[in-house]
């Protein structure tokens, strides 16, 4: 109950709720330590493969499975802030003539900045009725390991067809190529593509002007109906027509789209019935980090990962299986 309630509420609120509904008295700090420790156990269990995914490729309609991944920044405690806290506590302790209660050994180091990127990975069927999600605070290599591990759980290799929908970042493309080479297609999320068109229109014609909106419509319609190669062909006269900053903006757009032309063949993707939007992954980025991104909140990176692991467990419908495993142990 501590873990489940803490996914949506502060530890102080959880303390009050448990006392009112279960006549269980636990301090806010005690609940925090219980929940963060349980999250670390969940991470170990997830990495060991002791809990199976609740669905696999054979459960997907027509055997088609979709995957997506994205990065989302979360606030963490930097080392400079930890150093200030330690100094303040030492001064207060000296003034009150009391001993330190800190555990032996070196204190936990803070992060090298105020934000750190969490990486979220999803697998789902095309109807989005089944979802398997995982997250890490590690680097791209950790994401790659997670791709292979979670891909085995959902038996991605047994899918009749599988594809990714992501924002086209180079680090994401590389991890998919290295770790999930069985994917039949890699699609650039339509809404990320649209953002680049809108940004270029604002640079050339001004923000929210009629000309900008008209130009956006022409470029987007060309891409959606005929593909990005046609859009690039129609873009060329505009590049030649404009100079200086406007030309630079258009050339930047062309430089973004050209190497991703195979990922932006939207007419073909739609004809095959593929999803061109990364909504499920974007949604999980928000859901998994909701608890750690509250106003004024800052967490240690390992505790962020613990909370995301608990949220991923719940969102993947593995909550009951995990607790049954813990009871058996």
Q: Where are the domains of the chain?
A: 53-93+109-187+277-316, 191-269
Q: CA–CA separation, 287 vs 292, rounded Å?
A: 10
> How far out from the chain centre does Cα 35 lie?
21
pLDDT score recorded for residue 92: 80
Query: Angle of helix 140-153 relative to helix 170-179, nearest 10 degrees?
Result: 50
Structure tokens at 28: 């806010």
> In the prediction, which pLDDT does 154 show?
97
- Does the predicted model carry a pTM greater than 0.95? no
Q: State the Cα–Cα distance between residues 222 and 190, nearest whole angstrom.
A: 13
- Tokens read off for 266: 């939207």
CATH architecture of 53-93+109-187+277-316: 2-Layer Sandwich (3.30)
pLDDT at residue 105 in the model: 64
Whole-number Cα distances in Å, 271 to 60, 224, 225: 19, 11, 11
Residue that is written with structure tokens 């032996």 in the block: 104
- pLDDT value of position 279: 94
What is the dihedral angle through the alpha carbons of 122, 125, 127, 128, rounded to the nearest 10 degrees?
-20
Burial of 57 (0-12, 13-18, 19+ CB in 10 A): buried
Q: Which of 246, 213, 250 is nearest to 231 (CA)?
A: 250
Widest Cα–Cα separation across the chain: 77
Q: How far apart are CA 261 and CA 275, in angstroms?
A: 17
User: Over the stretch 264-302, which tens digit does the pLDDT of each residue have?
Assistant: 999 999 999 999 999 999 999 999 999 999 888 889 999
Map tokens 């594809």 to a residue.
163
**CA–CA gap between residue 183 and residue 170 (Å, rounded):** 16
**Residue 73, H or E segment:** strand 64-75
d(CA 119, CA 121): 7
Q: Could you tell me the strand order of the sheet in which 131-136 lies? A: 131-136, 115-125, 64-75, 161-166, 185-188
Q: Which residues of the chain are under the pLDDT cut of 50?
A: none
In this prediction, residue 175 carries a pLDDT of: 97
Q: Which residue has the tokens 């809108």?
A: 198
Residue 132: which residues within 8 A CB-CB, separation 6 or more? 53, 54, 55, 122, 123, 124, 150, 153, 154, 316
Going from the C-alpha of 2 to that of each of 24, 30, 177, 283, 290, the distances in angstroms are 11, 10, 40, 24, 17
Q: Please report, to the nearest 10 degrees, the dihedral formed by the alpha carbons of residues 124, 60, 224, 252 taken in order.
A: 40
Q: CA-CA distance, 165 to 281, in Å (whole number)?
A: 9
What residues are paired with 162 via a beta bridge? 65
Q: What is the pLDDT of residue 93?
A: 78
- At 103 the pLDDT is 66
């Amino acid at each position: 109950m501590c873990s489940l309630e803490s996914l949506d509420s502060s530890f102080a609120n959880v303390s009050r709720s448990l006392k009112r509904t279960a006549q269980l008295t636990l301090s806010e700090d005690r609940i925090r330590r219980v929940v963060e420790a349980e999250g670390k156990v969940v991470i170990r269990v997830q990495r060991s493969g002791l809990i199976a995914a609740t669905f696999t490729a054979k459960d997907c309609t027509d055997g088609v499975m979709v995957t997506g991944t994205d990065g989302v920044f979360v606030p963490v405690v930097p080392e400079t802030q930890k150093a200030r806290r330690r100094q303040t506590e030492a001064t207060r302790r000296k003034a009150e003539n009391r001993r330190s209660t800190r555990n032996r050994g070196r204190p936990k180091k803070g992060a090298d900045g105020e934000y750190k990127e969490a990486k979220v990975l999803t697998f789902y069927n095309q109807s989005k009725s089944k979802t398997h999600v995982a997250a890490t605070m590690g680097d791209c290599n950790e994401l790659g390991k997670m791709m292979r591990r979670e891909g085995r759980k959902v038996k991605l290799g047994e899918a009749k067809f599988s594809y990714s929908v992501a924002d086209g970042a180079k680090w994401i493309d590389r991890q998919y190529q290295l770790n999930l080479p069985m994917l039949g297609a890699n699609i650039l999320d339509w809404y990320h593509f649209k953002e680049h068109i809108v940004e270029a229109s604002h640079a050339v014609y001004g923000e929210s002007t009629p000309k900008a909106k008209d130009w956006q419509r022409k470029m987007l319609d060309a891409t959606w109906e005929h593909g990005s190669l046609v859009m690039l062909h129609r873009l060329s006269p505009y590049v030649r027509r404009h100079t200086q900053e406007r030309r630079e903006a258009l050339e930047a757009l062309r430089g973004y789209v050209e190497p991703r032309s195979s990922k932006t063949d939207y007419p073909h993707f739609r004809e095959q019935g593929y999803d061109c939007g990364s909504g499920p992954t974007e949604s999980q980025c928000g859901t998994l980090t909701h608890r750690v991104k509250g106003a004024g909140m800052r967490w240690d990176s390992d505790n962020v990962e613990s909370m995301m692991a608990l949220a991923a467990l719940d969102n993947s419908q593995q909550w009951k299986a995990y607790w049954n495993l813990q009871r058996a142990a």
